Amino acid sequence: MKNKSMILFGAAGICLALSGCAPKNAGNGAAQTSAPAPAGSKPFVVAYNQWIGFVGLFTALDKGYFKEAGLDVQPKQFAGPADSVPLLLTGKVDVSLTTADTVILLNKQAGSTPMACAYVIDTSDGADGLVAQKEIHTVADLRGKTVAATLGQCNEMLLLKALAAAGMKRTDITITNMDADTAGAAIIANKIPAAVTWEPWLSKATPGGAHVIYSSHDAPNLLLDVAAASSQTMTSRSADLRTFLAALAKGAAYDKAHPEEAAQIAAKHLGSSAADSTVMLSKVKLYGADDNRRLIGTTAAPGTAFASATEIGHFFVDQKQMSSMPDVSKTFTTEYLPQ
């Protein structure tokens, strides 16, 4: 359901083990009556893909938090987190809900006006994983077998993490390039021994006997989902960006305070059941503004998000998708976070 094209950063979504701090104005549970966005105001286009971690966006839309703040948010759905970033760079999208790894990789196309992660939305904490058929009990049992993963993206990164934890190398298995949704379906159809995929495929595979042998829970601080803004958005729509992030944080705070309703909202937007959404919500960590300040830190004392970004950069260099380590010092910014 995430349709990540990696890139976490979990694959992207990176898993950060911090608890969220809810903003004071978290909402009261009822849809609020609010004035519509000012007539003639320019729409604020927000790209996203179907991923449980974006429930804060869904809640903010349903509760009217954006309109209440005078912002005409127009959500635009894409198949995966990397698909919308080219449109972000060309100004056709104002913010892209994507993965940190996507920002790091595609910033090489941004030249002197790079994108930045203006908000860390969530991290995968078990919602991405390596799932195997029932006769395969451990990662070590994959030796000599074929494993599906999306090459050059967060799924491959998680697979390599799993292999390393088991004392194995990439050459100990055969990797076949497959997107996560196709891989999940292939596992259910028993067409492949193992695959890296995400929810809802992890849960769907269980009734047939397949099981998760390594997940993003085992690789904390790896797969991060973010709200990415282009240099153009940060320059020409800075006030709207701050308004958007404040309402997004308000939605996430409401979700953490009302998990049952959050599951119902997610189910409506993701086309799943409330029960399934409840399970999926337990496998992500949602972050608020205070969490972001800890995760991102300051120039003098960078937070753990930068360690994740550095690890991602090394991955891209190792995979020869980058010729040298990217400068991740400006990957994240706290400038537009709500107070």
Mean pLDDT of the chain: 87
Alpha carbons 328 and 310: distance in angstroms, whole number = 7
Residue 226 and residue 195 in one domain: no
Which tens digits make up the pLDDT trace of 163-206?
999 999 999 999 999 998 899 999 999 999 999 999 889 989 98
* Single residue among 216, 249, 266 that ends a domain in this structure: 216
Confidence check: pLDDT of 21 > 50: no
* Single residue among 165, 188, 216 that ends a domain in this structure: 216
* Single residue among 216, 248, 276 that ends a domain in this structure: 216
Q: Is residue 52 part of a domain?
A: yes
Residue 89 and residue 168 in one domain: no
Q: Which domain holds residue 231?
A: 44-125+222-330
Which residues does 236 contact at the CB level (< 8 Å), separation at least 6?
A: none
Residue 48 and residue 115 in one domain: yes
Confidence check: pLDDT of 4 > 50: no
Structure confidence at residue 10 as a pLDDT band (50, 70, 90) = very low
pLDDT of residue 329: 87
Please state which of the ranges 41-45, 118-122, 144-148, 241-245 shows the lowest mean pLDDT.
41-45
Concatenating the DSSP letter of every residue in 101-158 gives: HHHHHHGGGSTTS--EEEEEEEEESSSEEEEE-TT--SGGGGTTSEEEE-TTSHHHHH
Q: Is residue 145 part of a domain?
A: yes
Q: Is residue 339 part of a domain?
A: no
Please report how the helices 304-318 and 154-165 are oriented relative to each other, as an axis angle in degrees rounded to 10.
90
Residue 120 and residue 236 in one domain: yes
Confidence check: pLDDT of 1 > 70: no
Alpha carbons 222 and 161: distance in angstroms, whole number = 10
pLDDT of residue 113: 79
Residue 243 and residue 313 in one domain: yes
CATH number at 272 reads 3.40.190.10
Confidence check: pLDDT of 124 > 70: yes
Number of structural domains the chain divides into: 2
Structure confidence at residue 284 as a pLDDT band (50, 70, 90) = very high
Confidence check: pLDDT of 67 > 90: yes
- Does the pTM of the predicted model rise above 0.85? no
Residue 152 and residue 174 in one domain: yes
Confidence check: pLDDT of 241 > 50: yes
Which tens digits make up the pLDDT trace of 37-54?
454 479 999 999 989 999
Q: Is residue 282 part of a domain?
A: yes
pLDDT of residue 82: 86
Structure confidence at residue 9 as a pLDDT band (50, 70, 90) = very low
pLDDT of residue 2: 54
**H/E stretch holding 47:** strand 44-48
Q: Which two tokens stand for residue 171?
A: 């050459």
Q: Is residue 13 part of a domain?
A: no
Which tens digits make up the pLDDT trace of 88-102?
999 999 999 999 999
Residue 110 and residue 193 in one domain: no
